[in-house]
Every structure is written in C-alpha cells, then in structure tokens.
C-alpha cells in the first residue's frame, strides 16, 4: 500500500509524541518531516517554549528531519508564513498535516479553515477520545515526559519538572483536564519507544511569565504561566 506523505506538527510534548506513536504504528502515512513554529524573538517553540537546540535533539533521536518557521509574537504574519510552509512541502508531494489535538473543535476547525483551501487535509490521530482514554494510552505507550509550563491560575510551580506517570495522575487536581487540553500544562517528551536515545535536558530554573491575549470583545486579558528554564 502506498502511504500518503505527511508533515507532523511537532510541539515536543506528550500528546504530540503519542499522536506520532500512533501514526507510526498505523503505517498509513509517511512522515517526511516534523514541523515546529518558533517565536522569532526567543527561537523557542510557540506554546511549549522549548529551545530550538532541544527540538533538534528530539528530531535526531526520532530519526525524522525537523523543519521550523518563525512567527512574530502577535502572529501578524501567520497566514503568509503558513502558506510558504505548505508550498514548500507540496513540492514534495505532501497532502496531509498531522496534529495532536484531542477535543477542541474550534482549534480543529481553525486548522482546517487555513489548510484545506491550500489543498492540505488535517489528520488528528487522537481526535474524539476522552482525556482519560488518551492519558491511559499515553501511560501504556512507554513515552516519558516532564511538565515544563503550567497555567499559574490552575497549577502552581511545584508541577514544573514532574514526570507524567501514574503518581501524577493520582495527585492531579479534580476539575482540571488530565491531558492539559485546556492549557493547564505543557510538557516535553524525552524518552521511550519512539526515541533512539534519551533526549537529555536540564531545568535550570522556573520563571513566572505573562501573555496578553485580545478577546473577541476587544478587551485584553493577561494570563500568567510558570515556565521552566531549559538547557541542554
């Protein structure tokens, strides 16, 4: 069977690693590259704030090339940059972009609204399962991850550096999504069956940061996060 060529949108975290694990197991798609968006000022991944050097170490251990593109903090150039990325990969016969979303329908609809008109289908290997189901699959997969960012209004700084395992699940606060799908936390995958070798990194400190988001009402709301300071 001929596999469709695909790009895997790599965040570097738990759900991304599990989605890639499932794609490789199913063997329907040929993942020719990982793709990660970077903040142009920090050269770190947009959501997880993973330094480019560590993202490259992940890609090397996974045995899949890494392609990156940078965006301004306000994402003013998002559409233009994504069109460039799609054009680049369509020249290599890519027809699918793979993501690790679970249930946020507005996020999925947004991805489809941007990519479908460019001739790219959106693939979601984890889609439409409960967070508990996904967490169980993750724990069974053998993938190892540590928490590197938390929403400060939901999880305090003591969660930074925690390994996501059965103990973490048992101690996780009630009322929050166990997979962090609502932004409760972000993680970094560093070992397990996917990887040829453990991806070494250090957490040298923890910083409280803020992000301003413009709401649909026009007002601006500030969100605060605990963020690990990562190094090789």
88 vs 2: CA distance, rounded Å: 22
**Each residue's pLDDT tens digit, 148-197:** 999 999 999 999 999 999 999 999 999 999 999 999 999 999 999 999 99
74 vs 84, which has greater pLDDT? Answer: 84
Whether 47 and 14 have beta carbons less than 8 Å apart is answered as no
Domain of residue 115: give its range. Answer: 1-199
Q: SS3 letters for the chain?
A: CCCEEEEEECCCCHHHHHHHHHHHHHCCEEEEEEEEEEECCCCEECCCCCEHHHHHHHHHHHCCCEEEEEECCCCCCHHHHHHHHHHHHHCCCEEEEECCCCCCHHHHHHHHHHHHHHCCEEECCCCCCCHHHHHHHHHHHCCEEEEEEEECCCCCHHHCCCECCHHHHHHCCCCCCCCCCCCCEEEEEEECCCCCCCCCCEEEEEEEEEEEEECCCCCEEEEEEEEEEEEC
How many folded domains does the chain comprise? Answer: 1
The verdict on residue 74 lying in a domain is yes
The verdict on residue 11 lying in a domain is yes
The verdict on residue 215 lying in a domain is no
Predicted pLDDT at 197: 97
The verdict on residue 225 lying in a domain is no
The verdict on residue 163 lying in a domain is yes
**Each residue's pLDDT tens digit, 87-107:** 999 999 999 999 999 987 888
The verdict on residue 169 lying in a domain is yes
The verdict on residue 50 lying in a domain is yes
Calculate the average pLDDT of the chain. Answer: 93
Sign of CA dihedral 80, 78, 23, 56: positive
Query: CA geometry: angle at 94 spanning 90 and 96, to 5°?
Result: 120
The CATH number assigned to the domain holding 127 equals 3.40.50.620
The verdict on residue 31 lying in a domain is yes
Q: What is the mean pLDDT of residues 51-73?
A: 93
Whether 148 and 187 have beta carbons less than 8 Å apart is answered as yes
């Amino acid at each position: 069977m001929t596999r469709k060529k695909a790009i895997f949108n790599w965040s570097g975290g738990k759900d991304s690693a599990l989605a890639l694990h499932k794609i490789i197991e199913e063997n329907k798609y040929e993942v020719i590259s990982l793709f990660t968006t970077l903040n142009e000022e920090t050269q770190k991944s947009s959501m997880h704030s993973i330094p480019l050097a560590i993202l490259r170490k992940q890609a090397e251990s996974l045995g899949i090339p890494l392609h990156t593109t940078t965006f301004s903090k306000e994402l003013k150039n998002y559409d233009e940059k994504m069109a460039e990325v799609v054009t680049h990969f369509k020249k290599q016969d890519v027809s699918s972009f793979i993501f690790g979303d679970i249930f946020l329908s507005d996020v999925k609809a947004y991805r489809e609204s941007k990519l479908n008109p460019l001739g790219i289908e959106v693939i979601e290997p984890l889609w439409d399962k409960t967070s508990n189901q996904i967490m169980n699959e993750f724990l069974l997969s053998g993938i190892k991850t540590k928490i590197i960012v938390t929403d400060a209004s939901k999880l305090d700084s003591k969660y930074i550096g925690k390994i996501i395992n059965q103990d973490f699940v048992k101690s996780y606060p009630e009322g929050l999504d166990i997979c962090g799908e609502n932004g409760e936390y972000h993680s970094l995958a560093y070992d397990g069956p996917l990887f040829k070798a453990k991806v070494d990194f250090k957490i040298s400190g923890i910083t409280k940061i803020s992000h301003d988001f413009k709401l649909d009402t026009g007002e601006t709301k500030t969100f605060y996060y605990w963020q690990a300071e990562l190094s090789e």
